[in-house]
Amino acid sequence: MFSKLLLPVITVLATLSSITEATGRTHNGHTTAPRPTIKPYPYTTGKQFPASPRRTRHCFVDALGNGKDDSDNILAAARKCNDGGTIALMDDLYIIGKALDLTFLKHVDFDIQGTLKFVPDVAYWEANSFKFTFQGANTMILFGGEDINIFGSGKGTIDGSGQTWWDGYAKNSSIYRPMMVGVSGMKGGTWSGLRMINPPNWFNWITDSNDIIYDNIRLDVFSVNSNSPKNTDGWDTYRTDNVIVQNSIVNNTDDCFSWKPNSTNIVVQNNQCTGSHGMSIGSLGQYDGVYDLVENVLIYNTTMKNVGSAARIKVYPDINPNVPNNGMSGGGLGMVNNITYDGMHINSADWAIEVTQCYGQSNRTICTEYPSKLAIQDIWFKNFDGVASKKYDPKVATLVCSSPNVCQCIHTDNINVKPPSGKPAQHVCANLYRGFLKTLNCVDS
């Protein structure tokens, strides 16, 4: 399914600008940048990515300054330069004080050379963010449409002002924290050369979209006090197909990448994750009776540093009929199929590999009594190296299925992750065929 691209990648970083139409590429002393040419490398999904024609005009957005809201001008530029133009944001700082619905875009580029900073107005965003039904997802800005390129030339930044929400969460864990950047209904596009910092919740929420490449993206979170960032996933995909994320750096406190239900044909390659919960399939099977699918995924050449888990698959068990259930704590149907983790380089991970069909249920006896309805099959973990953390030493991996009937064809090969004590590595294995687990030293618990 996955194809290896033999041509070299051409990654020319780009820039962006501001709201009068211009025929040239210079405005108020700023010069626009060429759109970078982004190619998947070394692997692609095997599916096509649509061509993107050259843009023929520019709309420059001049920042108002003095803390004034630039949202209306950005929206006006997007409408004016839609269908063949480039929206250029080239000043140092743009304030985003309103929810921006940019799902009408077609054949348009964004050249971002400055910082787009969301105002930290909790009451406004709780009332006006874009709401989704899945897991309470909501976002402050939405991009969607056809053939959209967003590039930052290595200096464009999107700032979610997350500290205000983390401080609020420390006092009230039910505070409604929005995801920072939403992609909904995007059909063809690229994101490149951007930095994103301090989202209130997830960085990137991608739903009902296809044919998108992210390249050379940096995600960072940092708190200025003792209230740490919360749920700062890097990318979460949902009902999305044919996506590549490559050559990117993530410093966060939750999943580096999370494949939510109905994510298919995705390659994540040549990335580095620090402080994360892992490259995570799931969680899946959360909603009673709902069918979830994650299929055809390759995670290649990843460096994982100071993480909870490196390679992770997390699935809910079936519902315990003796325990009240709100319809959101297991019992889902579906499948995780054809997933490959190839080349993980680990520097301190609690688990180099974590597979569980008991997510959300700490009692393994109950989990085994009510095994998951969601199958895990045709999975490969191979070519892992490095050192685990001290947390479970000498155990370095856990592969625990709720039933062998729905957890089949799990393969490992060339797993060379050592515990820091220097003892022989141990791997917890339950309810799966051990004949496929090459180079593992399986123990029961």
pLDDT tens-digit series, residues 279-296: 999 999 999 999 999 999
| DSSP label at residue 163 | H
pLDDT, residue 24, reads 52
Token readout for 425 is 């590595």
Helical ranges in 172-222 per DSSP H? none
Token readout for 119 is 């105002």
pLDDT, residue 12, reads 28
In this model, does residue 402 exceed pLDDT 80?
yes
| pLDDT category of residue 18 using cuts at 50, 70 and 90 | very low
Percent helix, strand and coil across the chain, each rounded to 5?
A: 10, 50, 40
Nearest Cα to Cα of residue 417 among 441, 434, 433: 441
Separation of alpha carbons 333 and 428, rounded Å: 25
Residues 200-212: tens digit of each pLDDT = 999 999 999 999 9
**Higher confidence at residue 321 or residue 5?**
321
Q: Is 78 helix (H, G, I), strand (E, B) or coil?
A: helix
pLDDT, residue 115, reads 98
| pLDDT category of residue 23 using cuts at 50, 70 and 90 | very low
**Higher confidence at residue 28 or residue 426?**
426
Under 8 Å between Cβ of 38 and 60: no
CA–centroid distance for 172 within its chain: 26
What domains sit in the chain, N to C, each tagged with a CATH number? 15-232 (2.160.20.10), 277-445 (2.160.20.10)
Tokens 């992770």, residue?
312
Total Cβ atoms within 10 A of residue 29: 6
Residues 77-102: tens digit of each pLDDT = 999 999 999 999 999 999 999 999 99
pLDDT, residue 323, reads 81
- Catalytic residue list contains 277: yes
Average per-residue pLDDT in the chain?
93
In this model, does residue 304 exceed pLDDT 90?
yes
| DSSP label at residue 101 | E
Under 8 Å between Cβ of 160 and 197: yes
pLDDT, residue 5, reads 59
Least confident of 5-9, 113-117, 154-158, 336-340: 5-9
Tokens 């590595």, residue?
425
Residues 218-264: tens digit of each pLDDT = 999 999 999 999 999 999 999 999 999 999 999 999 999 999 999 99
Active-site residue among 27, 30, 58, 277? 277
pLDDT, residue 14, reads 30
